[in-house]
Amino acid sequence: MTRTRSHPKPLETESSLDTRARLIDAAGEEFAEHGFAKATVRDICARAGANIAAVNYHFRDKETLYLETLRHAHRYSITHYPHDGGLHADAPASDRLRAFVRAFLAKMLDAKRPRWHGRLISREMTEPTPAFSLLLEEGVRPQFGALCAIVRELAPSIKDVQIEAGAASVIGQALHYHHCNLMMKRLYAERKDGFPFDLEFLTDHITEFSLSAFEGLERKVRMNDARQSHRRQNKQRVRESKGRNR
């Protein structure tokens, strides 16, 4: 028997679901804290109050446990933090941007119970595993698309590449406080006022910063277009006046 047990996905009795759930929870914390490679099955089981063999029994192996944990985190994420932030699609684009930014930040910085969800997902970005595709197609791509739609409304005159780069700028700002959390906290460690960036402040800042940027870009493009069409009109006028004089 090469597989240790039959693994017809064990029936979800009361107690089995219990340790299974506890395992996923413990695994989430360990994986988030140490990464896939350094997190040990022993530590996970210890934290879950389960035997070492539990991982092999309920999941097939460490990797499947990781994948299942990530799936769990992802499902939680998309149900608890919808892109629109609970805002109607016909709300003003600037409001929808703010809602998007807040939802995005909250997803990562939220102090709510399973605080490891964000860390797990961001780890996946820098060192992808087989679960990467799932995350990309069901998480990132639709979210990025929604943001692009908002940006297009905010700055309708700019090119598509610029819209996508702008969306990336918004996301980049938000992710920064996630990736470099430790760095920022240490950077502000000796300040007496501490780390001044909470969810509300960051939502405001990133939204205002980005709105200003999009307004500016839009205006520049419009001015440029106006100049060019002005030039064209001049040429045409010259031509017309030439024709009239003839």
Q: Find, among 174, 181, 168, the residue nearest to 206 by Cα.
A: 174
Lookup result for tokens 């106006």 = 226
Q: What is the distance in angstroms between the CA of the first residue and the CA of the last residue of the chain?
A: 99
| Selected binder of a copy of itself within 216, 228, 236, 239 (CB under 8 A) | 216
Residues in 212-241 that interact with DNA by CB under 7 A: none
DSSP 136: I
Torsion, Cα of 111, 105, 92, 208 (10° steps) = 120
Query: In one letter, which amino acid is 8?
Result: P
Q: Per-residue string for binding with a copy of itself, 94-123, x by CB under 8 A? A: ----------------------------xx
Stretch that binds DNA, among 40-48, 81-89, 159-167, 233-241 (CB under 7 A): 40-48
Which does residue 72 bind out of a copy of itself, DNA, none, counting CB within 5 to 8 angstroms by kind? none
140 binds, among a copy of itself, DNA, none (CB under 5 to 8 A by kind): a copy of itself
* Interacting positions 105-134 with DNA (CB under 7 A): none
205 contacts DNA (rule: CB under 7 A):
no
Which residues within the stretch 44-103 sit at the binding site for DNA (CB under 7 A)? Answer: 50-58, 60-63
Task: Output the smallest distance, CB 84 to a copy of itself, in A.
Answer: 20
- Sign of the CA dihedral 127, 62, 107, 190? negative
Q: Shortest Cβ distance from residue 50 to DNA (Å)?
A: 5
146-170 in b/e form (b: 16+ CB < 10 A) is bbbbbbbebbeebeeebbeebbebb
